[in-house]
C-alpha cells in the first residue's frame, strides 16, 4: 500500500492506495485535512512506471520507408510482428478493432519492420502511423 497526499481545488486529502492488479487500484482510505489523519504520507520517492500501454518512441522516417497508417479509427487488439522482423507483401502486421469488427492490417510491400508506433490496447484515428516498414 502507498499513501499519497493530494490537493484538489485547494483542499488537501490523504489517500492510501492498494495495488490489486494491472491497471487497477483499490482506495483503502480517504481523509480530508479537516478530519483526523493518523498517518502522514512519506515524501515522494522515485517515479513509478505508468500502468498501461506506453507510447512508443518516435522513429525518423527515411527515404524508402513505408508508413502503414490506420484505415479506420479503432483499438489495436494484437500486434503480430516485432521490430527488425522481415515481412512479405500481404502478411498480417496487426489486428485493429473498428466498428465492432476485427480488421487485419497487412503489409503493403515486402520489407523489414523498422518501428512499431502503437501498442496493444492503444486507440488510433484514421491516418495515424502504426508501423514503419523499410524496403
Q: pLDDT at position 49, please?
A: 57
Q: What is the pLDDT of residues 48-82, one digit of tens each?
A: 555 555 445 556 667 778 999 999 999 999 999 99
Report the mean per-residue pLDDT for the chain. Answer: 79
Any domain includes 88:
yes
Are both 72 and 130 inside the same structural domain?
A: yes
Q: pLDDT at position 11, please?
A: 82
Higher-pLDDT residue of 30 and 123 is: 123
Is 102 in contact with 79 (CB distance < 8 Å)?
no
- Output the pTM of the full model: 0.56
Note down the domain range covering 75: 65-134
Q: What is the CATH number of the domain that holds 83?
A: 2.40.50.100
Q: What is the pLDDT of residues 99-127, one digit of tens each?
A: 889 999 999 999 999 999 999 999 999 99
Are both 129 and 72 inside the same structural domain?
A: yes
Is 95 in contact with 118 (CB distance < 8 Å)?
no
Question: What's the rounded mean pLDDT across residues 84-100?
Answer: 94
Q: pLDDT at position 63, please?
A: 75
DSSP the chain: -EEEEEEETTEEEEEEEEEEETTEEEEEEEEETTS-----PPPP-SPPPPSSPPPPPP----TTEEEEE-SSSEEEEEE---TT-EE-TT-EEEEEEETTEEEEEE-SSSEEEEEE---TT-EE-TT-EEEEEE-
Amino acid at each position: 500500500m502507498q499513501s499519497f497526499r493530494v490537493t484538489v481545488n485547494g483542499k488537501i486529502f490523504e489517500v492510501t492506495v492498494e495495488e490489486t492488479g494491472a491497471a487497477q487500484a483499490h482506495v483503502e482510505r480517504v481523509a480530508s485535512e479537516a478530519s483526523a489523519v493518523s498517518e502522514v504520507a512519506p515524501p515522494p520517492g522515485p517515479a513509478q512506471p505508468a500502468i498501461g500501454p506506453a507510447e512508443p518512441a518516435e522513429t525518423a522516417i527515411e527515404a524508402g520507408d513505408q508508413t502503414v497508417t490506420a484505415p479506420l479509427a479503432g483499438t489495436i487488439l494484437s500486434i503480430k510482428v516485432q521490430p527488425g522482423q522481415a515481412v512479405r507483401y500481404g502478411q498480417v502486421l496487426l489486428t485493429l478493432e473498428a466498428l465492432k469488427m476485427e480488421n487485419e492490417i497487412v503489409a503493403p510491400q515486402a520489407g523489414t519492420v523498422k518501428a512499431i508506433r502503437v501498442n496493444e490496447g492503444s486507440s488510433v484515428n484514421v491516418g495515424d502511423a502504426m508501423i514503419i516498414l523499410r524496403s
